[in-house]
Amino acid sequence: METQHFDRFDDPVVAADVAHHLHPFTDYAEMREQGTRIITHAEGHYIYDSNGNKILDAMAGLWCVNVGYGRQELIDAATEQLNKLPYYNTFFKTSNTPAAELSQRLIDIAPEGISHVFFANSGSEANDTIVRMIRHYWALEGKPQKQKIISREYGYHGSTMVSASMGGMSGMHDQACRLPDFEHIKPPYGFLYQGNMDEETFAEVSANWLEEKITELGADHVAAFIAEPIQGAGGVIIPPKGYFERIQDICRRHDILFVADEVITGYGRTGEWFASKTMNLKPDLMATAKGLTSGYQPMSAVLVGERVAEKLISDGGEFYHGFTYSGHPVAAAVALANLKVIEDDGLIEKVRNDTGPYLAEALQRLADHPMVGEVRSFGLLGAVELVEHKDGPKHFAQQGHAAVVVRDHAINMGMMIRAVRDGMILSPPLTYERADIDATIDILHKALDAAMDTLKLS
Ligand SMILES: *Cc1c(COP(=O)(O)O)cnc(C)c1O
């Protein structure tokens, strides 16, 4: 197809993009109609597009730019490392200084019991790696029939075949993407399922969904349960207090590994290095990515607990798994610089003691809005559930439409925010100040008002 065909887009970059670039998570027919937004540069908490718009990034990219844009420390670390050693692999007992130092650093900040690190390039690869490790582990334990992985509806674990099967996104499964041996339970999604239960009862009921599934499958066949401490892409679903305590107890009783997918919640977002610390979790394995490099380089790290690591080391022989770019020296150097910025700037304490609580307070300003059914937050993750009528049903008749209308108004008003089903999602950089939170809530408020008009709600 000729690029010229798209010259109705004034910008030749948009024309080329629309003509030849198949984007991730994009409706291609819609993109062909509307074109794409070209982000040209970014600084601090703002991104800029080729039409001259300045947009407040209340999503930190895709939940990842934890230290904000344009941090010189990360740029310098990358440049220096590119000059010194731009690439070498970590296969067959070779290594590089940043990868070795980063593994040490990650173990220093990881929850107790985590002893080793496996590097990959994305959250999806981290989760694929975890499934490979887990199955290998159980085979080494003499229980090769322990294969099944349980996860939750609305969970997001990535886009490869394995990670999408493990995720609980029905739209993805519908596109022929559900491998056998991946099982799902309902999430502890209070807005939908809590009803009149108090928090403690709901924690018990929702954790029991795991026990029921294990009973159905037989514990002898279940390898692991994997969960995001807070479900991100599923809509910032925050579990009731006590949920994970029960979940971990169930896993222990049935001898099932517990995996925390901390791709979003890791590296400061919940006011600790990891949500596992915030929520007192003791995972056997953890997937981390996104905030590890603040998105400046693609990199993920699987954090492996002693139980699995010791087995792989003592009995495993060669682990036939790895990526050309595992432990990439430039990515590792950027990760080290990024972790140093998070520490030196006190970003974790800032989220825990200041901006996290302030976001919770600021979101309350939206609670009385006629379109708002619930607001909730945890650290610097926030969600606003939209409803058609305050005392009506939880869903809009046409699910997914209203939130997109609010999102588009917000973008036109100069703020990037995300729509999930009938809800709005916030995940700003950890460098956000109170004034940025105020600006975010103000714009969201105006976008809600504008959406009331567009949707003809009164
Ligand atoms: C983004 C995400 C992933 C997938 O990471 P990619 O780098 O996009 O492959 C996995 N798990 C969670 C919780 C995520 O938010």
Residues 6+ apart with CB under 8 A from 400: 419, 421, 422
What rounded mean pLDDT belongs to the chain?
Answer: 96
- pLDDT at residue 156 greater than cutoff 60: yes
Using alpha carbons, list the distances in angstroms from residue 111 to 119, 262, 339: 18, 12, 16
pLDDT classification of 390: cutoffs 50, 70, 90: confident
pLDDT classification of 2: cutoffs 50, 70, 90: low
Q: What SS3 class is residue 305? A: strand
Using CB atoms within 10 Å of the CB of residue 245, give its burial: 0 to 12 exposed, 13 to 18 middle, 19+ buried: middle
In this prediction, residue 10 carries a pLDDT of: 87
How far does residue 269's CA lie from ligand 1's centre (Å)?
A: 15
The whole-number average pLDDT for the span 152-170 is 97
pLDDT classification of 393: cutoffs 50, 70, 90: confident
Nearest ligand 1 atom to alpha carbon 155: 13
Nearest ligand 1 atom to alpha carbon 123: 5
Q: Which two tokens stand for residue 182?
A: 């991946």
Q: Which two tokens stand for residue 47?
A: 């991104």
Q: Residue of the nearest CA to atom 11 in ligand 1?
A: 157
Higher pLDDT, 73 or 392: 73
Q: Which two tokens stand for residue 318?
A: 């060669």
Out of 156, 285, 286, 293, give the residue to mutate to test ligand 1, the one with the largest number of ligand atoms within 8 Å of its CB: 156
How far does residue 315's CA lie from ligand 1's centre (Å)?
A: 30
The whole-number average pLDDT for the span 187-214 is 97
Neighbouring-strand partners of residue 426: 382
User: 310-359 pLDDT, tens per residue?
Assistant: 999 999 999 999 999 999 999 999 999 999 999 999 999 999 999 999 99
In this prediction, residue 21 carries a pLDDT of: 96
CA distance 407 to 447: 7
pLDDT classification of 5: cutoffs 50, 70, 90: low
122 lines ligand 1 (CB under 6 A): yes
Are 190 and 205 in contact by the 8 Å Cβ rule? The answer is no
Overall pTM > 0.95: yes
Q: What angle do CA 253, 254, 256 make, to 5 degrees?
A: 115
291 lines ligand 1 (CB under 6 A): no
In this prediction, residue 392 carries a pLDDT of: 75
